[in-house]
Amino acid sequence: MSHEESLNRSIANAAASVAMEGFCIDEECKDWCRMVLLNKITKEEYLYLLLKKAGVIPS
């Protein structure tokens, strides 16, 4: 299994786990997770994007 396949499987497993708790992870958030895991954005940038999307941080 390639690194990319492993990464995608890990994200899918995490999303399935969250879905079992009644929440949904959309594709945009999965893409952000992928970017963090590939060191394309920092965890802080990821959290900022999530908070902005949730409306906690004004646009």
In this structure, is residue 36 part of a structural domain?
yes
In this structure, is residue 59 part of a structural domain?
no
Predicted local confidence at residue 58, as pLDDT: 85
Q: How many domains in the chain? A: 1
In this structure, is residue 31 part of a structural domain?
yes
Residues of the chain with pLDDT under 70: none
Q: DSSP class of residue 39? A: T
In this structure, is residue 30 part of a structural domain?
yes
pTM: 0.84
In this structure, is residue 32 part of a structural domain?
yes
In this structure, is residue 42 part of a structural domain?
yes
CB neighbours (10 Å) of residue 32? 20
Predicted local confidence at residue 35, as pLDDT: 97
Domain coverage including residue 49: 3-54
In this structure, is residue 8 part of a structural domain?
yes
CB neighbours (10 Å) of residue 33? 19
